Structure 1
């Protein structure tokens, strides 16, 4: 029962049977339309975001399983801000503003793929990404907020999310 694993990145809910996905699936003699339909079903909640997908294929039976990874931090932040793409010039061009609660939500969502051991360090990491793509947080530069997080100014808010962090 040889297994083959394919790792791809698709737009959530919008995978297409064309290249490169279609030809890759065809070489394993899979029904491309069926696989694409399944990918779109399991990624629908991430519509418009880049999502990593893993397809496990049993090459003997032609059975497959699709599992979805966590979208990139950038994709999650852009969605929270209602923006389409990063600024390209984050120093001079801001693309949106999000709340500190949004940052905490993204940190909790990304916990399985972060190396951060604490919620506080995860928040600082997410703030760093927000800064590099041109977002402000609560109307301030994320760089300034990193300092405020280190100084303990957000400890009360962080403590409200600590339980979610521990259970995720």
Structure 2
């Protein structure tokens, strides 16, 4: 079973053109590959990311494939979500913006596989913790305060929503 990995750059949610067409030489259905790339990257389009690298692992015997997007770091997603290009230079002293807990849950959802958590709550904690290092508050509050609220169950409805979504997709 020979596998080939091809790395291409695509616009999130808008894959196509020569970058994807080149995959036809490996015998895969380019339309299906394009659909899968777009499905896995379209959520990134709302973050102002122009290009994302995607690895397409092709099984040369069965012509099956697996799409693995190379996602930006959590801190970059947070900063892009608030419309900035870079985080604070003095994170605790300089606040550059505010983000909603819902947007942070979406980032945890995007980065789910990379965060290697068994529970969505733990993944969300990792994302919340990153806010402090880039100078971002959450719903107007310090990330430490939001972590305490998370532990007390204040955001259980959001956690349940994303856990259900991950289960539906077979990712949890």
Deviation at 1:167, TM superposition (A): 2.8
2:11 equivalent among 10, 13, 17: 13
What is the CA–CA distance in structure 1 between the aligned matches of 2:160 and 2:69, rounded to whole Å? 27
Deviation at 1:80, TM superposition (A): 1.9
Out of 98-107 and 145-154, give the one that drifted further: 145-154
Kindly tell me the number of residue pairs found equivalent between the two proteins: 143
- Structure 1 residues 3, 118: CA separation in 2 closer, same or farther (over 3 Å shift)? closer
Give the TM-score, by structure 1 length.
Answer: 0.64
Asked if 2 retains the 8 angstrom alpha-carbon contact of 1:90 and 1:133, the reply is: yes
Q: Which residue of 1 aligns with 2:19?
A: 35
1:59-98 aligned at under 5 Å gives the runs 67-72=67-72, 73-98=74-99
| Unaligned ranges ≥5, structure 1 | 15-32, 58-64
Deviation at 1:36, TM superposition (A): 8.8
Aligned CA RMSD, in angstroms, stands at 3.5
Deviation at 1:35, TM superposition (A): 3.5
Higher-Rg structure is 1
1:4-153 aligned at under 5 Å gives the runs 5=5, 13=11, 34-35=18-19, 45=42, 46=44, 48-49=48-49, 51-54=52-55, 67-72=67-72, 73-153=74-154
What is the CA–CA distance in structure 2 between the aligned matches of 1:166 and 1:66, rounded to whole Å? 19
- Structure 1 residues 167, 98: CA separation in 2 closer, same or farther (over 3 Å shift)? same
What is the CA–CA distance in structure 2 between the aligned matches of 1:3 and 1:166, rounded to whole Å? 28
Give the TM-score, by structure 2 length.
Answer: 0.63
| Unaligned ranges ≥5, structure 2 | 23-33, 59-64
Out of 133-142 and 73-82, give the one that drifted further: 73-82
What is the CA–CA distance in structure 2 between the aligned matches of 1:154 and 1:92, rounded to whole Å? 27
4+ residue stretches of structure 1 with deviation over 6 A?
none
SS in 1 for 2:111: helix
- Structure 1 residues 82, 68: CA separation in 2 closer, same or farther (over 3 Å shift)? farther
